[in-house]
Amino acid sequence: MKPRTPRASRFLRRSPISSLSLLSAVVFLGGTAARVLPARNQPLAQPLSLTLGDAVRLALKQNPQHIISTILLGESERDRQAARAALLPQAGISASQLIENYNLQTVQRLEQATPSGRFQALQGKAGFSQSLLDFGAIRRYQIGREELNGTRARETVTREDVTNAVVAQYLLALNAFATRDAARSRVLLAQRLYEQAAHQQTTGVGVRIDTVRANVELQNERQRLIDAETLTHTTSYVLMELLELPRDREIQLADRLEFFNLPSFDPPAMIEQALARRPEMKAATSEQRVAALARLAAGEQSLPRLIFSGDVGADGSVPSQMIHMYTFGFALDIPIYTGGRIQAEREKATLEEKRIAEEKREIESRIVREVRSALDEIEAARQAVTVANLGLDLANEEVAQAERRFTAGVTTNIEVITAQDELARASDNHIQALYRFNQSRANVAHALGEIESTYAK
């Protein structure tokens, strides 16, 4: 099982590598974040230093998708309250004043129209009602309550998705900065080897072909550095978009790609944990319950409905002559024939229940696959980091030996150039191994439904 820590950055612990490896492979981001140049005469905004946990918390606060899901949760809560209100007593007051003029010919058999009036009527009353037996209202309340649970689960799904997107992009940005820093160190190495070849040519120890070859390698490394610099900018822009930052605000990443030990995993236990914790499963379960309640509600439309209601008040032509009045009664509604509507709605609800059950089975299969894949990926990533560490150490040793041989005049700098290429490949492999390891760790947390609790605390 995963270790629990209060902050996401605790999952980025230090890996034992050599000083040369640290120079060429590990990105240290204290002031090396990609910078967006402001317009002329505009003040430079203070860079916003963000750890991975800071980025996740900021996204959950500002991301539009999460804000929308929170609004939908509030709407679902209001719907539940409205459905509950139908089961509670209803009361209200009313007052009216009427002035009427009648034609007696319409109520008496007179030969000609005869006006009668004008008459004034004053009335004030307080009315009330209470549902005594209404299965439809009961089911609507139960459905509203279960829909609220489903909306909560979907809001958690959104939080997990937003967190997953931010973590993935943050790690991509770390990968870009690590690649950029490694490219910088290789440019410095290529520059030093080129100057060494040029010096040996000047002193007559070396030949021009060695200088040209070293210069070609230097330009190749500079080109790789240009591409790496561009990648740091583009990945930072996407992260800033996810965080909804102002357009004139820079970011500075405070974490770095590192390796850390993880405990062994128990796949069957983790699959069961994921099925119990994943918000997608909780949302599907709520939808299944809503469908079952809707099926019951459709069938119960043929049952009687009993309501008690009444009102009390006063009635008269003038205020001084108003008298007390009241009305009490029961209303019983029994559907006899609905033209097949109830049967059709019941069959439709049954089909909906079956559809949701199949969707739930599909979600369950996807979760099982995601957990198994994440566990396989993180195990492979752990092994890849070990191999990459060894490869990087050997590549550094190869460059050092080739440089000594070239300095001693034992060989041309072909061996040095070849060793430089091998170092570049080993450095890239090391960075990619660290990136895959950290991304695989995030994939495991997401598969278990714990990525927010892992990285946002």
Domains belonging to the chain, first-starting first, are 8-85+135-298+345-455 (1.20.1600.10)
What is the residue-level pLDDT of the chain in tens, covering all 457 positions? 344 444 444 334 333 333 333 333 333 333 333 333 344 445 455 778 889 999 999 988 888 888 888 888 888 888 888 888 888 888 888 888 888 777 777 777 777 777 777 777 888 888 888 888 888 888 888 888 888 988 899 999 999 999 999 999 999 999 999 999 999 999 998 898 899 889 888 887 778 888 898 899 899 999 999 999 999 999 999 999 888 888 888 888 999 998 888 888 889 999 999 999 999 999 999 999 999 998 888 888 888 888 888 888 888 877 777 888 888 888 888 888 878 888 898 888 899 999 999 999 999 999 999 999 999 999 999 999 999 999 999 999 998 998 888 888 777 788 888 888 899 999 999 999 999 999 999 999 999 999 998 898 7
Rounded to whole angstroms, the Cα distance separating 372 from 327 reads 69
Tell which phi-psi region holds residue 333, choosing left (phi > 0), alpha (psi between -120 and 50) or beta: beta
* Contact by Cβ (8 Å): 46, 156: no
* Contact by Cβ (8 Å): 411, 197: no
| pTM, entire model | 0.74
For 160, the token pair is 């997990």
Pick from 457, 437, 448: nearest CA to 388:
437
For 66, the token pair is 């999460």
Per-residue model confidence (pLDDT) at position 164: 94
Rounded to whole angstroms, the Cα distance separating 283 from 149 reads 8
Rounded to whole angstroms, the Cα distance separating 352 from 340 reads 18
Rounded to whole angstroms, the Cα distance separating 406 from 415 reads 8
Q: Side-chain half-sphere of 314: how many Cα atoms within 13 Å?
A: 9
Type of residue at 120: Q
* Contact by Cβ (8 Å): 232, 180: yes
Per-residue model confidence (pLDDT) at position 18: 36
Encode 350-391 in three state secondary structure. Answer: HHHHHHHHHHHHHHHHHHHHHHHHHHHHHHHHHHHHHHHHHH
CA dist 194 → 190, 407, 416 (Å): 6, 12, 10
Type of residue at 123: Q
